[in-house]
Structure 1
Amino acid sequence: MVKRKSNIVVGSSGLIKSINKKNVLNTIKRSEMISRAEISREVKLTMPTVMRISEELIQDGLVCEVGKGVSTGGRKPNLLSIVPNGRYFLGTVIQKNIQSIVANMSGDILSSYRRDIDYSGGEDKILAQLEQCMEEAVRMSGLTENDISYSGIGTPGMGFKYTEQASDDVFSYWATKRMDFFKEKGHFKWPTVVENVAKLGALGELEYGIGKSLDDYLYIFADYGIGMGRVKGGKLDVGNSGVAGELGHMSIDFNGRDCYCGNRGCLESYCSINALLKEYRREKMMNGSAEGAGYGLQTIEDAAGQGDPVAEEVLKRVGSWLGIGLANVVNIYNPGAIILGGELERRFPLYVQSTSETMMKNIFMDKSRNIKVLAGTIEKPMEALGAVALAIEAYFEKYCSDKTK
């Protein structure tokens, strides 16, 4: 047990050494290049302690010296940096399909593989599909299975209080499971840590995207589901029980649409991809189209690009519903910024515009209107990279603990 009094950590000698090593390692990882003196000042450790720890990290191939820094009067200091290819990690995200990536400690992606999920065969078959996707990503990277140090998995919402059968098997299936499902049923070849996909999007932006320059933001995942991850003080905030951020199941209409979670009027029922598709199909059929049921996302994207008024109106309407939900969370959290991510953000600028405008109109306090609304990083799979970042964090924890036993 670690006890904290002010900023002083009290515990066993081994525990203190483990915490110190992890602080030094994380400080080097966050910096492109940093001197031992700078590390000493940042983590508030003596120079001899920093020098001892850094030498151990160099010997274990995690850290290396990369050149000289600027002199402040004496000799130029040696600069330390993470060895990008010192370790490799696997990140897997479960959404409508499964995507696995292999990346190094700098977040450089070596390979990516995506496959559909077949839910017809039960738990063992689903886990086998997950493992197949992970193994194929490793094979494509040119690495061996033994080269992977740790694995991270991002899932849809899990462990709901109760769930009604939904037309979308992705959510109805996973909502009935709990995080321990992977420990109980999974037999992956690598040590694996699991987290909600929206939180991993927030973590991915923090480690490898525009979140690196921010200290306090909400990451909004607008996809087949609607989720949220909160970063506060430069760290991912998961709440007291690890389940903070269920934005999609905040009700905006108690008498509204049924949701697969068992409640009514959930935000996800109004502004997710499934909601957008339903709204568009209904509008097209009301306008006399006999093909309404066959329309998909690409159809809406093409129609919006051509200025189709039905597509534009539906995107504005669905985006405005998300904006109402975001105004509520801004009124509660007063974050410094909102980062919008997910498939809807990537494909539909009008949806994003409507979301932002409606949110601003419904924010209660004038001071809160200074919030930045930012588009998420679109050139990288941020949720999968968040799974990699989670795996790296878990590996560092284990490495530092094992080395000080």
Structure 2
Amino acid sequence: MAKRKSNMVVGSSGLIKSINKKNILNTIKRNTMVSRAEISREVKLTMPTVMRISEELIRDGLVCEIGKGISTGGRKPNLLSIIPNGRYFIGTVIDKNIQSIVTNIEGEILSSCRRDIDYSGGEDKILVQLKQCMKEAVRMSGLSKEDMSYSGIGTPGMGFKYAKQANDGVFSYWATKNLDFFKEKGHFEWPTAVENAAKLGALGELEYGIGKSLNDYIYVYADYGVGMGRVKGGKLDIGIDGVAGELGHTSIDFNGRDCYCGSRGCLESYCSINALVKEYRHEKVLDGGANGSNYGLQMIEDALAQGDPTAEEVVKRVGGWLGIGLANAVNIYNPSAVIIGGELARRFPLYIQSASEVMMKNIFRDKGRKIKALAGTVDKPMEALGAIALAIEAYFDEYCSK
């Protein structure tokens, strides 16, 4: 995993101790095993400081000594490691349904619960459903609610401009909601951190996926919506107000399709799941299909597997539209890689291939074409794991500040 640089901070002794403690804890967590001397060199702290803080971590059941390392001339050093089951966390993601996972501090998934979501009520009704799914995940893990240290939740975008002619119930629901409501204390049985699901996909890849070997990349979430998370210098960049990354609502055609957000030509209107299904239905009706409403995502996937040229053409076309948006993002940010995740990336490799080819053609600078276009991790729920990473980060902040 790419090492993240520690910034020198001037402040009170309590603040400095908190920062030092977190740097040491993160260093131990990132390494399978590490000596106190290695920690001292990496975080640039004196050995007495490292020894004092590491003893606190051992006493609090977060870290343990696991044996001896290789001698470099003197006595063999004692090696430190995070205790995998020293703490447990809950990660939850909301989209068309709710998924909650329970993991230990290393992100090992112990249980997973997925439930349909009813959008017919207000925030209180959503909260009830969230709590039910989270409690069920804890029950399935064999742990108790007292074992949980922190929770992370990923949500769709909230509080955006909204045109009343929009007909997508999910997005119209979240348009009028305030993220602060879900951040208020007392809603959940555990301390909880909340963030946009697309950004959590980027964080999940950083901590548990292919982003481990990268330091600067863009993660694009191609699902019912299209969102983006940017990792810079090994950290998630969310912007001044936490709303950076709305790639899906950058316009690729000012006179184009109406978008539920009230604008026209938004990228999301061309390369999301809904856009793919609508495009396929349209083509099938033109080809004499009896009822375009019968066509759905699974049918497209099956048709593609059977060599249906219409399915192939539509998936390539829709992926190509995403590629235009990706090129725009690359021209602005110049990342080392673009990772494409979400349901479309998991189910349609051709979608990623087409997006990558069109992106490369539309990158302005020659040097920019050195970029890697990568499929996101497909065998793990990266957005939910991003919620876990968010929860662990928030827990470390609180623990180290005590």
Q: Same fold (TM over 0.5)?
A: yes
Equivalent residue for 1:347?
347
Equivalent residue for 2:313?
313
SS of residue paired to 1:10:
coil
Q: 1:187 to 1:350 in 2, by over 3 A?
A: same
SS of residue paired to 1:398:
helix
Which residues of 2 match residues 211-290 of structure 1 at below 5 A?
211-290=211-290
SS of residue paired to 1:265:
coil
Equivalent residue for 1:303?
303
Q: 1:185 to 1:178 in 2, by over 3 A?
A: farther
SS of residue paired to 1:15:
helix
SS of residue paired to 2:338:
strand
Equivalent residue for 1:168?
168
**Does the 8 Å CA contact 1:127/1:186 hold for their aligned counterparts?**
no
Asked if 1:78 is matched to 2:78, the reply is yes
Q: Distance in 1 between matches of 2:298 and 2:88?
A: 35
**Does the 8 Å CA contact 2:183/2:193 hold for their aligned counterparts?**
no
SS of residue paired to 2:153:
strand
Q: Provide, for residues 319-373 of structure 1, a one-character-per-residue CA deviation record: whole Å limited to 9, x for no partner.
A: 0000000001111111001111100000001111110100011111111111111
Q: Distance in 1 between matches of 2:7 and 2:116?
A: 48
Equivalent residue for 1:205?
205
Amino acid at match of 1:12: S
Equivalent residue for 2:22?
22
Equivalent residue for 2:92?
92
- Give the superposition deviation at 1:165: 5.0
Greater shift after overlay, 82-91 or 62-71?
Answer: 62-71
- Give the superposition deviation at 1:291: 2.4
Asked if 1:324 is matched to 2:320, the reply is no
- Give the superposition deviation at 1:281: 0.7
**Does the 8 Å CA contact 2:322/2:355 hold for their aligned counterparts?**
yes
Q: Distance in 1 between matches of 2:393 and 2:15?
A: 17
Amino acid at match of 2:245: G
Q: Provide, for residues 218-250 of structure 1, a one-character-per-residue CA deviation record: whole Å limited to 9, x for no partner.
A: 111111110111111111111121111110011
Equivalent residue for 1:104?
104
Which residues of 2 match residues 29-178 of structure 1 at below 5 A?
29-164=29-164, 166-178=166-178
Q: 1:324 to 1:171 in 2, by over 3 A?
A: same
**Does the 8 Å CA contact 1:107/1:208 hold for their aligned counterparts?**
yes
**Does the 8 Å CA contact 2:316/2:350 hold for their aligned counterparts?**
yes
Equivalent residue for 2:368?
368
**Does the 8 Å CA contact 1:163/1:175 hold for their aligned counterparts?**
no
Gaps of at least 5 residues in structure 1 are 1-5
SS of residue paired to 2:264:
coil
Amino acid at match of 1:84: P
- TM-score (structure 1 length as normaliser): 0.96
Number of residue-to-residue matches in the alignment: 397
Q: CA RMSD in A?
A: 1.3
Q: Provide, for residues 119-171 of structure 1, a one-character-per-residue CA deviation record: whole Å limited to 9, x for no partner.
A: 11332222101111111101100000111100000011112134435322221
Equivalent residue for 2:3?
none
Q: Distance in 2 between matches of 1:31 and 1:348?
A: 35
Moved over 3 A (4+): 161-165, 183-186
Q: Distance in 2 between matches of 1:397 and 1:121?
A: 34
SS of residue paired to 2:202:
helix
SS of residue paired to 1:37:
helix
Q: Distance in 2 between matches of 1:333 and 1:195?
A: 22
Q: 1:165 to 1:76 in 2, by over 3 A?
A: farther
**Does the 8 Å CA contact 2:156/2:196 hold for their aligned counterparts?**
yes
Equivalent residue for 1:294?
294
**Does the 8 Å CA contact 2:185/2:191 hold for their aligned counterparts?**
no
Gaps of at least 5 residues in structure 2 are 1-5
Q: Provide, for residues 188-224 of structure 1, a one-character-per-residue CA deviation record: whole Å limited to 9, x for no partner.
A: 1111110010110010011011111111111111111
**Does the 8 Å CA contact 2:281/2:293 hold for their aligned counterparts?**
yes
Q: Percent identity?
A: 81
Q: Distance in 2 between matches of 1:85 and 1:187?
A: 26
Amino acid at match of 1:206: L
**Does the 8 Å CA contact 1:165/1:172 hold for their aligned counterparts?**
no
Equivalent residue for 1:3?
none
Q: 1:23 to 1:165 in 2, by over 3 A?
A: farther
- Give the superposition deviation at 1:185: 8.9
Amino acid at match of 1:54: S
Q: Provide, for residues 293-336 of structure 1, a one-character-per-residue CA deviation record: whole Å limited to 9, x for no partner.
A: 02111100000011101100100110000000000111111100
Q: 1:7 to 1:29 in 2, by over 3 A?
A: closer
Amino acid at match of 2:187: H
- Give the superposition deviation at 1:182: 0.8
**Does the 8 Å CA contact 1:253/1:264 hold for their aligned counterparts?**
yes
**Does the 8 Å CA contact 2:183/2:194 hold for their aligned counterparts?**
no
Q: Provide, for residues 238-289 of structure 1, a one-character-per-residue CA deviation record: whole Å limited to 9, x for no partner.
A: 1121111110011111111111111111100000000001001111111111
Q: 1:103 to 1:7 in 2, by over 3 A?
A: closer
SS of residue paired to 1:86:
coil
